[in-house]
Amino acid sequence: MGRPLNKKYFGNRNIGVNNGTLTDDNIGGEGITNFSFSNAGNYINRLPTIASLAAPSIPTGIQAAGVLHSVAQNCNPNAKGSRYQINDILTDANGTTWKVTKLRVISATLNTAGSNTNWDGSEWIVWDQFINSHWTSPTILKGVTADGGHRITGYNSGTSTYGVWDGTDGTLAPITAQTITGNPANTPSMTPSWNTRAAGDYNGSGAGDNNAAGGTITFVFGVEAAVIVSSIDYAYGTTYLYNSNNTTTAAPTGGTGCKLDVGFGAAYLAVTQKGSGYIGSEAVTFTTAPGLGEIRATGTITLTTDTGGQYAGDNVGAVFGKNVSTYQENAIVAVDVSDSSIVDIIKQENARRYKVRTSSTTKFLNLTSPTDSAGLYIQATDSHSNTYWVKKLNGHLATVVRNSAGSGEFTDNTAVHWTFDAPVNGKTVQIRNA
């Protein structure tokens, strides 16, 4: 067959890292630089972490390791606190900041008695979407009381409903005294613009008794919702404060007492050992998310870049004297079809026979179809993603056979130029590599 393939095609010149020391790992594949997340997940009051990271596919590869970092992404108040306003910036106990977007009434105080003699104690006092569209759920003050002069004296806070003000668009909530208005005509309306409503009929569709007016109410608001402004970098294994311990600092309007449940999403891997021998298909599994509202993170590994570099021969010491930090060459990925495992090609004996290393031994294998019971399978792919098995390989040409009948740019037993790069239509095939 002439000269065997250069050992660079088998990764036998690659530089790896083992326990922080540069070594000649003599295998193909890559190390790990990070994760690419298809879903960052949502973990409530706990950080996601790596449940398992598969070992490298190529035998003798080094296991990668690192610390998973996360960011806060959403919150839900477990204590709403009081005296907050829309757009208040909250800083939680860990240093992450949030902007208040929704408020809920915590209490309503009657400031002055109504002077209207129509107060008879059978009314409700309502602030809802007809008063202002930002009331997305109504505040209904029930059990209104009046004195002998038909002046309002109070309401039953225990039976009342405290609604939500949605300030997502930045509109501030009414924290100054609000005047109670009534309908002089004392007639029902499906879209009432007055506060006084017939008891049991806050949307105004029933029979009258909505003509009482006078007096003012002041609302105190707690935090109903907030959105992330800026998250700190959360590293798994570091102690943080959660739940009832995650108290926010005082807001600009004097708000106090809000505490947050926080949802975290995975952000990146801080690599402590990049490893070697990875081909990109190795699985990474993140911690499960069994709690209500939680989602497990999903993603794949990202690999170091094949950059080549200057090689100074077989002497390892000479290599380390060069630019070894960028020295990494692609290598052919081959499969032992007897057990479907990736093997490390040590050398090519002839066009069809190779010396390989498995996870447990060294042996010789001949090129063969992936459907055979034994042998070495090397895959080629054309520009239309049709696959072939390589029957013979030399420095320039690969003799290919279709993996599936009737599809492929090249017919069986065609000798075609091969590459590690993207294949060109009708001209080259790409040999599977890492």
Tens digit of each residue's pLDDT (9 = 90 or more) over 171-228: 999 999 999 999 999 888 888 999 999 887 777 666 678 888 888 999 999 999 999 9
User: CB of 269 within 8 A of CB of 32?
Assistant: yes
Question: Does residue 213 sit within a domain?
Answer: yes
* DSSP character at residue 371: T
At 7, give phi and psi (nearest 5°). -65, -15
The Cα 62–Cα 73 span in angstroms is 34
64 CB-contact burial (10 Å; exposed 0-12 / middle 13-18 / buried 19+): buried
The Cα 149–Cα 152 span in angstroms is 9
pLDDT of 394 reads 92
Question: Does residue 288 sit within a domain?
Answer: no
Query: Taking all residues of the chain, what is their mean pLDDT, rounded to a whole number?
Result: 89
pLDDT of 2 reads 58
Could you count the other beta carbons within 10 Å of the beta carbon of residue 289? 17
Joined together, the tokens standing for residue 398 give 């690969």
Tens digit of each residue's pLDDT (9 = 90 or more) over 318-334: 444 444 444 567 889 99
Q: Which of 401, 405, 385, 404 is nearest to 393 (CA)?
A: 401
Question: Does residue 36 sit within a domain?
Answer: no
Beta bridge partners of 209: none
Question: Does residue 211 sit within a domain?
Answer: yes
- Calculate what percentage of the chain has a pLDDT beyond 70: 89
Q: Report whether pLDDT(388) > 70.
A: yes
Instruction: Select from 223, 253, 277 the last residue of a domain.
Output: 223
List all residues 6 or more positions away from 148 whose beta carbon is below 8 Å from its beta carbon: none
Residue 232 — very low, low, confident or very high, per pLDDT cuts 50/70/90? very high
pLDDT of 317 reads 42
pLDDT of 322 reads 42
Tens digit of each residue's pLDDT (9 = 90 or more) over 346-375: 999 998 999 999 989 999 999 999 999 999
Domain extent, residue 198, equals 100-223
Domain count, the chain: 2
Question: Does residue 193 sit within a domain?
Answer: yes
pLDDT of 318 reads 44
Question: Does residue 52 sit within a domain?
Answer: no
Instruction: Select from 194, 223, 252 the last residue of a domain.
Output: 223
Looking at per-residue pLDDT, the higher value among 121 and 298 belongs to: 298
Question: Does residue 341 sit within a domain?
Answer: yes
Question: Does residue 27 sit within a domain?
Answer: no
Beta bridge partners of 341: 336
Instruction: Select from 173, 205, 223 the last residue of a domain.
Output: 223
Q: Give buried/exposed letters for 190-210 (b at 16+ CB in 10 A, else e).
A: eebebbbbbbebbbbeeeebb
Average pLDDT over residues 145-160: 85
- What global pTM score does this model have? 0.84
Contacts by residues 143-146 (CB-CB < 8 Å, ≥ 24 positions apart):
144/119, 145/121, 146/119, 146/120, 146/121
Joined together, the tokens standing for residue 149 give 């002069």
The Cα 52–Cα 58 span in angstroms is 18
